[in-house]
């Protein structure tokens, strides 16, 4: 930003910090470390957070993954796409960091904050995010993520954001608008508010529609009676004013309640009831992503139920009953019960042609690349149907072999494209169809290698950013902050020589203002008299995870160990307790100085490696 742009500085200094969390401790820490110039805008749910986004011109947002019900990576991608000036900090654990590894590596997610958080780290991350926001504004217009003409920020961007609310609200609001199964329909507040949006022209008929819609929503009249249901009234309100957020919010609440009830029915095995509720939601918004996902779940559950019923019938010799179940699913028609021996015999004679029919349908599905979807109309379903009737039939065995080959090919293509989620999904399908154990093991090993490589790339990017922050801290004559960033860089596996050089600069910067402190000697310079091996954590061993822990401790005059402290660990939160439990039991030969035993500070890095 140019030196003379005082008004620009003032405007950006007043930008708020948005926080999506239900963690009171995290919120209190953010309040404590934040610059008073930036207003704190907390939100306990995704819908409240989306409201803040539209109300405020925010600069930095902190997202607590524990408070997010939507797919985390999709949510952050949507935020970056629709609010390019927003700098994101995400808080969570190792699994969430892995999910966001690509976005951390490319800078879409500026920082990832591991929980539990420390006040110092939160302060450093928030300050770095505000600096990043300032740098984005300091860039020439062609280099910014979302250039816009001067003077259009409040008008163009935020009216455009308002128009995008319906799309943005999909991942934000569905869990917030989905009440618990046994809650009263009056538990959630009305979709609209007492007053219309600021600047909107009063429309008595619109306000009347919204009041009636709110009343229908509170009464639980979601889709009936026709013309007086919440869905119909909110849609009528949208026809009068397509931009009114109260009507959009109301539609989302109706969909959220329908899908919440459908999920309860699905969990209880009531598939028809779940299908009916999901279909009502789809009739309101056919493009709603959660509707499509839930319908897919219902279809998969229905398909599994069909196969289980047919398998039970076939296992008891009731081939006719198995055929009836499968025909009902494949054709949508119920056949009369075949209970007499003559009909059973006829069904047995039809077995060969029925198997051929299912295999023909499987070939057609393969030609359309419908390997595992849609439900009950895919190659796997038809081949499994044929295998239920004639598991030893040579044609069925060959079809299963071909299906496994196609699924394996899809898995390897996803691996080559570095599409981790797709590779994992196809590998699971290969295993479920009954592929050779060696094939499955090989695919899973490659998936884990891709996951590790993706995570390593994210750690490398994190380490480089930590080194940059350390350099900035040294340039600001802040060696303490530089030390914190260098510890993070070491934990991320950044270049050791660079870290050492920067540590030397930091030590030189502090030598003139601080009293000398006792140095830590490498543990291998001491004589250890008792050693207890660290116990490899079972979870890490089962998952094949390697790592290390760096410790500081004191060797007392009698050779015992005290004052153990974890300096760094990779990955964080996995090996620390095992390292501390082992070193506590170690003993050393006392260190002598001028003929008497003295205590000595030591440092040690313990490595954990799966054999």
For residue 401, CA distances in Å to 375, 385, 398 come to 21, 15, 5
297-306, 360-369, 589-598 — which is least confidently predicted?
297-306
Nearest-CA neighbor of 85 among 124, 134, 21? 134
Tell me: pLDDT of 336 over 70.
no
- Give residue 152's pLDDT band: very low, low, confident or very high (50, 70, 90): very low
Q: Domain 6-147+154-166, CATH 3.30.465.10 — does that match?
A: no
pLDDT of residue 224: 92
CB atoms within 10 A of CB 105: 18
Separation between Cα atoms, residue 356 and residue 388, nearest integer Å: 13
Are 178 and 259 contacting, i.e. CB atoms less than 8 angstroms apart?
yes
For residue 588, CA distances in Å to 307, 520, 560, 578, 605 come to 66, 15, 7, 20, 17
Percent of the chain with pLDDT over 70: 82
**Domain extents in the chain:** 6-147+154-166, 177-188+203-287, 298-435, 452-511, 521-608
pLDDT of residue 345: 56
Task: Please name the helix (run of DSSP H) or strand (run of DSSP E) that holds residue 21, with its range, or none.
Answer: none
CB atoms within 10 A of CB 185: 13
Tell me: pLDDT of 125 over 80.
yes
Q: DSSP string spanning 492-533?
A: TT--HHHHHHHHHHHHHHHHTTS---PPPEEGGGS-EEE--P
- For the chain, how long is the longest CA-to-CA vector? 105
Residue range 97-119, pLDDT digits in tens: 888 988 898 888 999 998 888 88
405-419, 471-485, 507-521 — which is least confidently predicted?
507-521
Residue range 180-198, pLDDT digits in tens: 433 333 344 555 544 455 4
Residue range 561-606, pLDDT digits in tens: 999 999 999 998 899 999 999 999 999 999 999 999 999 999 999 9
Structure tokens at 360: 């023909």
Tell me: pLDDT of 503 over 60.
yes
Residue range 373-419, pLDDT digits in tens: 999 899 999 999 999 999 999 999 999 999 999 999 999 999 999 99
Residue range 47-69, pLDDT digits in tens: 788 878 877 778 899 999 999 98
Are 410 and 376 contacting, i.e. CB atoms less than 8 angstroms apart?
no
- Give residue 29's pLDDT band: very low, low, confident or very high (50, 70, 90): very high
H/E/C letters for each residue in 433-470? HCCCHHHHHHHHHHHHHHHHHHHHHHHHHHHHHHHHHH
Residue range 213-268, pLDDT digits in tens: 999 999 999 999 998 999 999 999 889 888 788 988 999 999 999 999 999 999 99
What burial class does residue 107 get, using C-beta atoms within 10 Å of its C-beta: 0-12 exposed, 13-18 middle, 19+ buried?
Answer: middle
Domain 521-608 is classified in which CATH homologous superfamily? TonB (3.30.2420.10)
Q: What is the mean pLDDT of residues 429-453?
A: 92
Tell me the torsion sign for CA atoms 16, 18, 24, 30: negative
- Mean pLDDT is highest, among 321-330, 334-343, 384-393, 486-495, for 384-393
- Give residue 344's pLDDT band: very low, low, confident or very high (50, 70, 90): low
Separation between Cα atoms, residue 163 and residue 157, nearest integer Å: 10
- Give residue 548's pLDDT band: very low, low, confident or very high (50, 70, 90): very high
The structure's pTM equals 0.32
Are 544 and 611 contacting, i.e. CB atoms less than 8 angstroms apart?
no
- Kindly give, in sequence order, each residue whose CB lies less than 8 Å from that of residue 478, ignoring residues fewer than 6 positions away: none
Tell me: pLDDT of 337 over 50.
no
Nearest-CA neighbor of 39 among 23, 18, 21, 22? 18
Task: Please name the helix (run of DSSP H) or strand (run of DSSP E) that holds residue 182, with its range, or none.
Answer: none
What burial class does residue 419 get, using C-beta atoms within 10 Å of its C-beta: 0-12 exposed, 13-18 middle, 19+ buried?
Answer: middle
Tell me: pLDDT of 332 over 70.
no
Percent of the chain with pLDDT over 90: 44
- Give residue 175's pLDDT band: very low, low, confident or very high (50, 70, 90): very low
- DSSP 8-class letter at 250: H
- DSSP 8-class letter at 66: G
Are 103 and 77 contacting, i.e. CB atoms less than 8 angstroms apart?
yes
Separation between Cα atoms, residue 399 and residue 381, nearest integer Å: 12
């Amino acid at each position: 930003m140019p030196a003379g742009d005082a008004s620009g500085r003032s405007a950006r200094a007043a930008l708020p910090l948005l926080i999506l969390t239900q963690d009171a401790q995290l919120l209190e820490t953010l309040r404590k470390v934040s610059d008073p110039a930036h207003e704190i805008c907390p939100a306990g749910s995704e819908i409240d957070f989306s409201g803040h986004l539209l109300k405020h011109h925010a600069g930095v947002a902190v997202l607590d993954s524990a408070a997010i019900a939507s797919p985390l990576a999709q949510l952050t991608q949507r935020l970056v796409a629709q609010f390019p000036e927003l700098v994101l900090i995400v808080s969570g654990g190792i699994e969430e960091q892995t999910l966001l590894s690509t976005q951390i590596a490319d800078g879409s997610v500026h920082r990832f904050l591991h929980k539990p958080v420390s006040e110092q780290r939160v302060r450093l991350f928030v300050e770095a995010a505000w600096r990043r926001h300032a740098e984005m504004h300091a860039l020439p217009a062609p280099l910014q993520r979302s250039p816009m003409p001067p003077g259009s920020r409040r008008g163009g961007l935020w009216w455009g954001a308002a128009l995008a609310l319906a799309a943005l609200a999909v991942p934000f609001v569905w869990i917030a608008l989905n009440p618990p199964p046994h809650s009263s329909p009056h538990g959630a507040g009305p979709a609209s508010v007492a007053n219309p949006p600021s600047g909107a022209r009063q429309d008595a008929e619109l306000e009347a529609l919204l009041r009636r819609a709110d009343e229908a929503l509170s009464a639980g009249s979601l889709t009936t009676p026709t013309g007086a249901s919440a869905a119909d009234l909110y849609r009528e309100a949208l026809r009068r004013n397509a931009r009114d957020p109260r009507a959009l919010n109301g539609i989302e609440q109706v969909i959220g309640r329908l899908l919440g009830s459908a999920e309860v029915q699905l969990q209880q095995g009531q598939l028809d009831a779940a299908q009916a509720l999901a279909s009502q939601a789809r009739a309101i918004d056919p493009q709603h992503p959660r509707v499509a996902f839930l319908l897919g779940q219902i279809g998969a559950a229905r398909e599994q139920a069909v196969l289980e019923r047919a398998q039970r019938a076939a296992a008891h010799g009731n081939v006719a009953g198995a055929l009836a179940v499968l025909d009902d699913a494949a054709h949508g028609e119920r056949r009369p019960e075949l209970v007499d021996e003559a009909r059973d015999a006829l069904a047995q004679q039809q077995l060969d042609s029925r198997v051929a029919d299912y295999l023909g349908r499987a070939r057609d599905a393969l030609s359309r690349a419908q390997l595992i979807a849609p439900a009950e109309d895919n190659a796997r379903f038809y081949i499994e149907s044929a295998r239920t009737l004639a598991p030893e039939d040579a044609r069925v065995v060959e079809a299963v072999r071909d299906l496994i080959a196609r699924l394996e090919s899809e898995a390897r293509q996803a691996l080559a494209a570095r599409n981790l989620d797709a590779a994992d999904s196809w590998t699971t399908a290969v295993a479920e169809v009954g592929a050779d154990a060696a094939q499955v093991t090989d695919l899973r090993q490659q998936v884990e290698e891709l996951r590790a490589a993706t995570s390593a790339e994210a750690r490398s990017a994190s380490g480089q950013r930590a080194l940059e922050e350390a350099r900035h801290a040294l340039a600001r004559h802040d060696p303490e902050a530089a030390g914190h960033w260098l510890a993070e860089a070491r934990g991320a596996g950044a270049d050791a020589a660079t870290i050492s050089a920067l540590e030397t600069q930091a030590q030189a910067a502090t030598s003139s203002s601080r009293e000398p402190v006792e140095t830590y000697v490498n543990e291998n310079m001491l004589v250890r008299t008792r050693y207890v091996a660290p116990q490899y954590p079972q979870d890490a061993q089962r998952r094949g995870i390697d790592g290390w822990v760096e410790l500081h401790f004191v060797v007392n005059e009698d050779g015992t160990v005290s004052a153990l402290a974890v300096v760094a660990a990779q990955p964080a939160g996995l090996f620390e307790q095992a390292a501390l439990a082992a070193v506590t039991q170690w003993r050393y030969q006392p260190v002598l100085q001028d003929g008497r035993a003295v205590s000595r500070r030591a440092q040690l890095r313990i490595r954990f490696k799966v054999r």
